[in-house]
Structure 1
Amino acid sequence: MPALWTASEKLVLASTSATRLALLVSAGLSVETQNSNVDERLVEDAARSEKLDPPALAARLAAEKALAVSLRNPQRIVLGADQVLACGEKVFHKVADREAAKLQLQALSGKTHALHSAGALAIGGKVVESFVAIATLAMRPLSPEAIDLYLELAGPGVLHSVGVYHYEGLGVHLFDKVEGDHSTILGLPLLPLLSALRRLGCVSL
């Protein structure tokens, strides 16, 4: 039986994200995960002095994660990924508790925001491929009661999402209009990733 993944060793995903892992597996890639242990807030603080825009910030975060794991696995192909949510001039982050989640959804309610999803491939401690894709999501106006109901139904898992919603689940109810690839919304743009892997000769299709 022909193999889709042609590299000698599995792709290393520099993340413990179950969603990103599921996307890679669904595309038929041979993959394992390792935690990058990168402090995202420290990277953001350093990038702030450079006045990086959201797509550049997402790319920086993805690259730092890929490099951190690549230095531990110099012979492997390592994928780092990250996502930045921007609404107007404001960049949003993951929240710590339900009250903060409620405030974030109130801030996004009735507005259109952008998800900047980036990926970086590193080999031997060097980034060899980098890409960013953008999706725009128009959240419908939400009443306080609707926000409370959503958070109750969705459970604490939404705290792991930068937008405090799981678009692939109940979060789809929060939106009027979405533009962009589904995998970009989930935090790993598959089409540019697969193009990059083909350039590196890692996939046969």
Structure 2
Amino acid sequence: MKPIWTLSSPLVLASSSRVRRVLLERFSIPLEIVKHKVDERDADQGVPFKDSPQKMAVFLAKQKAWSIHKDREHKWILGSDQILEFQNEIFHKISSRDELFNRLALFSEKHHTLHSAAVLIGPNAREIIFSQSASIFVKRLSPYEIEKYIEKNISTHVLDSVGGYHFEDEGVFLFKKIIGSYSSILGIPIYQIIDYFYSNGIMQLD
């Protein structure tokens, strides 16, 4: 059986994330990719949920979706966000090789939590919220192991990841245990979204 998208227009994805695009396309969802207009590092300075990373992820997902809504009021728009929480601090995406090394060294033999959220805006401006979390337990990583990982993966967009790894690729070898939602690690609560689409007739099976 093949999934069928029943709407006349594609889903508007307010993201340039390759992983999120690929995940949605796996379910045969037609996409219009539009870069959101939110500067994530600046935006979270005014977030009223500093004590709740999950609520913060939802807030930023809303901001992203609404930032491109004006010219697409009659379409379905999906915004998403992922927050990394480590020892009660929020971590942003990595911007350099040195920062990647230091972050992986910091996470060695410890655990961190990824909070993922997505907000769907319908043509009637109704918001539907999806959110999930997962705790990641990292193996003991020696400086040599970290250097080898970086050498092999620095060219695969790991700097676009808040954790410095792609779980669906080589990053899986950094971990010893995961508790929670697999899709939270990938940055979008995909199964909640798909369930909503099927439950509301937006998607059907051929």
TM-score (norm 2): 0.92
Q: Which amino acid aligns with 1:21?
A: R
Q: Give runs of aligned pairs for residues 6-85 of structure 1, distance below 5 A.
A: 6-47=6-47, 49-85=48-84
User: For the residues of structure 2 that align with 1:151 and 1:126, how far apart are their CA atoms?
Assistant: 43
Superposition RMSD in Å: 1.8
Q: Give runs of aligned pairs for residues 156-171 of structure 1, distance below 5 A.
A: 156=155, 157-171=157-171
TM-score (norm 1): 0.92
Residue 188 of structure 1 deviates from its aligned partner by 1.1
Residue 199 of structure 1 deviates from its aligned partner by 4.7
User: For the residues of structure 2 that align with 1:52 and 1:92, how far apart are their CA atoms?
Assistant: 14
Q: Deviations over 1:24-67 (max 9, x none)?
A: 010121212100121112220001x5434110011011111111
Gaps of 5+ in 1: none
SS in 2 for 1:188: coil
Percent identity among equivalent residues? Answer: 35
Q: Quote the residue 2:198 is aligned against.
A: 198
Residue 94 of structure 1 deviates from its aligned partner by 0.7
Runs ≥4 residues deviating over 4 A: none
Contact 1:82-1:117 at 8 Å conserved across structures:
yes
Q: Deviations over 1:94-121 (max 9, x none)?
A: 1111001111111111111111110000
User: For the residues of structure 1 that align with 2:17 and 2:2, how far apart are their CA atoms?
Assistant: 28
Tell me the matched-pair count: 204
Q: Which amino acid aligns with 1:164?
A: G
The structure-2 alpha-carbon separation of the partners of 1:74 and 1:52, relative to structure 1 and needing over 3 Å to count, comes to: farther
Asked if residue 152 in structure 1 is aligned to residue 151 in structure 2, the reply is: yes
